[in-house]
A and B are shown apart, each in its own frame.
Chain A
Amino acid sequence: MNFWRKVWAITWKDIISEFRAREIIISVLVFVLLVIIIFNFAFGAGVEVIKIAAPGMLWVTFAFAGVLSLNRSFILEKEEGCLEGLMAAPISREIIYTGKTLSSLGFMLVVELIALPIFALLFNLNLLTFEIVTITFLSTLGFAACGTLFSAMAVKTKARELVLPVLFLPLVVPVIIGAVKATGMVLSGQTWAEIANWLIIIGSFDIIFLVISFWVFRFVIEE
Chain B
Amino acid sequence: MSDLGRDPLNKISIEIKDLYKTFDENAALNGISLRVTEGESLTIFGPNGAGKTTLIKILATIMNPSSGSILIDGLSIRDQPDKVRRKLGIVSHNTFLYQNLSAFENLDFYRKLYDIPKERIYEISALIGMQSRLYDNVSTLSRGMQQRFSIARALLHNPSIILLDEPETGLDQEALELLWGILKNGEQKRTIVTATHNLSRGLETSDRVLILVKGGIVYEGQKQKLDINKLTQIYQGHTGGAK
Which A positions have Cβ atoms within 8 angstroms of B? Answer: 2, 5-6, 9, 13, 16-18, 20-21, 76, 79-82, 84-92, 222-223
State which of A16, A79, A87, A223 has its C-beta within 8 Å of the C-beta of B99.
A79
B126 CB, min distance to chain A CBs, angstroms: 22
- A5 with B112: in contact, given A81-B92, A88-B85 (CB under 8 Å)? yes
Expressed in whole angstroms, the Cα–Cα distance for A91 and B57 within the complex equals: 17
For residues 97 through 155 of chain B, which have their beta carbon under 8 Å from a beta carbon of chain A?
Answer: 97-101, 105, 109-110, 112-115, 137, 153
Please state if B97 and A88 are interface contacts (CB–CB under 8 Å). Answer: no
A138 CB, min distance to chain B CBs, angstroms: 30
Expressed in whole angstroms, the Cα–Cα distance for A58 and B62 within the complex equals: 41
Chain B contact residue count (CB 8 A cutoff) = 31
State which of B57, B62, B101, B114 has its C-beta within 8 Å of the C-beta of A17.
B101
Note all chain B residues with C-beta closer than 8 A to A85: 94, 96, 110, 153
Note all chain B residues with C-beta closer than 8 A to A18: 100
B176 CB, min distance to chain A CBs, angstroms: 19
Note all chain B residues with C-beta closer than 8 A to A81: 92, 94-96
B238 CB, min distance to chain A CBs, angstroms: 28
Please state if B97 and A80 are interface contacts (CB–CB under 8 Å). Answer: yes
Please state if B101 and A90 are interface contacts (CB–CB under 8 Å). Answer: no
A217 CB, min distance to chain B CBs, angstroms: 15
Note all chain B residues with C-beta closer than 8 A to A76: 98, 100
Note all chain A residues with C-beta closer than 8 A to B98: 13, 17, 76, 79-80, 82
State which of B101, B115, B153 has its C-beta within 8 Å of the C-beta of A16.
B101
- A88 with B61: in contact, given A16-B101, A21-B100, A76-B98 (CB under 8 Å)? yes
| Chain B 62-98 near chain A by CB (<8 Å), digits 1 or 0 | 1110000000000000000111011010101011111
The 24 listed contacts between A and B (C-beta, < 8 Å) are: A5-B112, A13-B98, A13-B101, A13-B105, A13-B109, A17-B101, A18-B100, A20-B100, A21-B100, A76-B98, A79-B98, A80-B95, A80-B96, A81-B92, A81-B96, A82-B94, A82-B97, A82-B98, A88-B60, A89-B110, A89-B114, A90-B81, A90-B113, A222-B64
